[in-house]
A and B are shown apart, each in its own frame.
Chain A
Amino acid sequence: MAAETGTPTTLTLKSNDDELFSVAESAAILSVTIRNMVEDGCAGGVIPLDNVDGKTLASVITYMNGISAIPADEEKKKSYRDKFLSDKDFETLADMVLAANYLNMSCLMDAVSAKIAQVMEKKSVGWVRRKFGIENDYTPEEEAAVKEEHKWTFEGVETDDDN
């Protein structure tokens, strides 16, 4: 599937729920995982991405297209990333961090982790446990001791809101 010089090559990506997506190779190789496949010549036909669902992949492709259309200007890229992530909820962000990790896209990874941290910043411990599906494995005494040790961190505003 050798591309002629000048003509943009299109890759077909397949999500784990069998949705197919077309994306320009120049945008798709932002993912080191995809780039390696292309370089290894495994990109003929359809590229299966077993760890990414269709909804998340669509989002990632939007990002790939958006960011690769911006010339080398870090400021503009940053504001694009901020805008791109601004309306995503926690679950979507969590899916995206997993996808970015699997696809090995460091810039998306960094932006999404920072966004998740920003969402978590004003949240309570209970909220974090719920959203991350974590079971509290402290005994009440242990928890009280850890809390006491970091008492000052519990001052200030925190919310339990779902968003």
Chain B
Amino acid sequence: MDSKKNVKINEINDDLLREILVHLPPKTLFKFMTVSKRWKYLINDPTFLKFHNNKQRHRSSAVAGDDGGHLLALFQLTTKHLSGRYRRRPSEPAMNILAVFPDGNPEIMCGLVLCGRHSSKYHIMNPVTKKWVPLPPPPRHRLDQQYYRDWTMGLMVTAWEGDNSYIVVRAALTDDLDQLLPIETYSSKTGEWVSSMLVGTGGFILHPLPGAPLVANGVFHWYTYNWQIALYDPSDETGHVQLIKIPYLDGAVSRAITRSSVDNTLWFGTINPNKIQIYKLPKGEKEDDPEKNRMDRIRLECFVPNWYPLVLVLRQAENIFLYNLGSNMVELVRYYGCAYNHLVHEEYLCPYLESSCLSSYFQRIFFD
């Protein structure tokens, strides 16, 4: 009897097996990679994982919650992961990721990535098509070498210039408190860099905090040194920069901003070893000030984009926590992939909400 059963079960071919495995929750699915090489091959296949992902997404709508579904992962985007068809000479240093549009994961959101090396080599890369488009070098500034130590780059896909149009804004990081800031803007429509001057409502110095400026509602949001956020709308030809004061927190170790897609409010969060402060901007009213026990080395990494009520991503060494301000709940995030504390903090970190299958797919690319 038993032998007969085994003969039957062997008739379950790969297609049938996929039909069964697609119903498994991610955790069990990955566990069963250890069954045999054939199973690993079947499961660890991007097409299958996409199929599984769609099925599971359909099944579960909860985020960062039940076993069926969505985990949050922080991934370091690297050009290696995105490389696609770009080949560089062995002598050529790797390009860094300078900006990502939209905030979050460009591969899932069908966005664009700006890669490059200051001060003249920039590429726009589409992570879905893997197409690389080189930008012409920006005009050489006569001050290039003398005063400007570094640049901050912003990338925005612009609705007003038609589909698939984008602009890149490059602003210099200077040491001088000044009301004026020279920038260069590249538009995919004209294919040219244009130099212009930003005019602040007061003096400001852009802060070289990791990552690119937040882009939301067609507006760039940069941090500045003196506890302000500089807002620049590139469709405004006068180059006006609005400065919003953000509340000072003594001993702040990190900060983050987001714009809620629900009510279009700008939120700012900051953290020191004793507390987290979240403010609604620009009114500066204090929204939440949970006094916590001493939180050694906790960093506020970012807000989860487009998620409301607000969810913060906190990190303590290699532990990542989600802090839901709506429910006042803290949840430890189980993630895998590159151990987080091995990441270089200045690299572009990209938070996204997706099912863990996809994140495993990412992991695979990382280590290939």
Contact = CB atoms under 8 A, between A and B. Distances in A.
Interface of A: 91, 94-95, 97-98, 101, 109-110, 113-114, 116-118, 120-121, 125, 128-129, 131-138, 143, 146-147, 150, 152-154, 156
The list of the 6 closest CB pairs from A to B, nearest first, reads A117-B23, A153-B31, A133-B6, A113-B20, A114-B23, A113-B19
A97 B265 CA distance: 52
29 contacts: A94-B5, A94-B12, A98-B8, A98-B16, A110-B19, A113-B20, A113-B22, A117-B20, A117-B21, A117-B24, A120-B24, A120-B32, A121-B24, A125-B34, A128-B32, A129-B36, A131-B9, A132-B9, A133-B10, A134-B39, A136-B36, A137-B37, A137-B38, A138-B37, A146-B33, A150-B34, A150-B336, A153-B28, A153-B31
A127 to B, nearest CB: 10
A97 B11 CA distance: 10
Given A95-B8, A97-B19, A129-B36, 9 more contacts: A91-B5, A98-B11, A101-B16, A110-B19, A120-B28, A131-B9, A133-B9, A146-B40, A150-B33
A132 B11 CA distance: 10
A143 B34 contact: yes
- Residue from A121, A133, A153 having most chain B Cβ neighbours under 10 A: A153
Contacts of A129: 35-36
Interface residues of B, number: 30
Nearest to B364: A149
B345 interface: no
B37 to A, nearest CB: 5
A152 B24 contact: no
Contacts of B31: 125, 150, 153-154
Contacts of A116: 20, 23
B334 interface: yes
A118 B24 CA distance: 7
Nearest to A98: B11
Contacts of A131: 9
B361 interface: no
B25 interface: yes
Contacts of B30: 150, 153
A95 B31 CA distance: 25
A101 B12 CA distance: 10
Contacts of B336: 150, 152
A37 to B, nearest CB: 21
Given A98-B11, A98-B12, A129-B35, A121 B20 contact: no
Interface in B1-59: 5-6, 8-12, 16, 19-25, 27-28, 30-40
A156 B336 CA distance: 17
A78 B21 CA distance: 20
Given A114-B23, A121-B25, A153-B27, A147 B34 contact: yes
A118 B27 CA distance: 13
Contacts of B38: 134, 137
Nearest to B28: A121
B36 A138 contact: yes
Contacts of A97: 12, 16, 19-20
